[in-house]
Amino acid sequence: MKKTVLITGATSGIGLATARAFHDQGFRLIITGRRAEILDALTEEFTAEDCLAIQMDVRDPEQCRMLPYRLPQEWQDIDVLVNNAGLALGLEPVYEGDPSDWSTMVDTNIKGLLDVTRALVPGMIARGHGHIINIGSVAGDAAYAGGAVYCATKAAVKAITDGLRIDLVDTPLRVTLIKPGLVETPFSTVRFHGDSERAAKVYTGIEALQAEDIADTIVYAAMAPAHVQIAEMLILATRQANGSLIVRH
């Protein structure tokens, strides 16, 4: 029987690449996101037999709580949860930041991840198997200029992931943190509120990672033997040393 993976934020970037990578490995997909039209298109791409699309916003605690109850019986046995939904907004100093941007980042990157985890992990424990893969960031290792709140949310993702691994140590469940560096996706366009010209400059002069590179590492961690728990992976572009040091040519 095919294994099932649930991916949050699956309509673009790393989430979409991850869905395609798992599909290529024979997994069934439960994909979630806010944009119904993209979810519908992906259901056609992956075929209805192998893909269940659920429109939801992880910022809504009630939608997260109800997620298990929206799954048909044949889709409830989730083998892998990829908590991918996340974003950055703005690149101003903290004292000039937009509080609404802060709230969106905290509600998505931290509270959304927590709420989805709370909704789905008890079922994994009851079934005696499961793998939770959280998407963090190199930004969670150290703050950089203009990114204090985003960096703080990704530092929280690391702490939550480590804590969850501790809490589940007496179970067969596995917990993994994936920390991407500079990845060329719509991430920067979102960060700059749709300013694609400014976003393009983020990737100028360096061969950045692509969403497919991160998807490969996620699938690699998920397909490791059951006795192997890949706790954490940091993936950087070759000319990137950390969250702030990048050499461009």
CATH number, domain at 213? 3.40.50.720
Strand order from edge to edge, sheet including 174-180: 51-55, 28-33, 4-7, 80-83, 131-135, 174-180, 232-235
pTM score, two decimals? Answer: 0.97
Give Cα separations from 246 to 35, 138, 202, 243 (angstroms): 33, 13, 10, 8
- Give the pLDDT of residue 1: 82
- Give the pLDDT of residue 47: 82
In a domain, 240, yes or no: no
In a domain, 244, yes or no: no
Quote the domain boundaries for residue 230.
Answer: 4-235
In a domain, 13, yes or no: yes
- Asked if 144 is an active-site residue, the reply is no
In a domain, 107, yes or no: yes
- Give the pLDDT of residue 48: 76
In a domain, 249, yes or no: no
Q: What is the number of structural domains in the chain?
A: 1
In a domain, 247, yes or no: no
Given the residues 95, 150, 203, 220, select the one marked as catalytic. 150
Q: Sign of the C-alpha dihedral, residues 85, 208, 221, 139?
A: negative
- Give the pLDDT of residue 176: 98
- Give the pLDDT of residue 220: 98
Spans in the chain with pLDDT lower than 70: none
